[in-house]
Amino acid sequence: MVGGYRLSFILFLKEAVKSFGFVLLIMKFKKSKKHFCNQKM
């Protein structure tokens, strides 16, 4: 019982880290896009 709970918690952490990394990636992409537009002008 406890082992299964621990396993699901680890899986949940993995998913949270994945989605958090995805958000960071989008933010980085938006920032670089803005920077690129500023350089063009």
pLDDT at 1: 57
pTM (2 decimals)?
0.51
H helices of the chain, in order, are 2-40
The mean-pLDDT minimum among 3-7, 17-21, 34-38 falls in 34-38
**pLDDT at residue 7 tops 70:** yes
**DSSP conformation class of 41:** -
The more confident residue out of 15 and 3 is 15
Nearest to 9 by CA among 22, 17, 20: 17
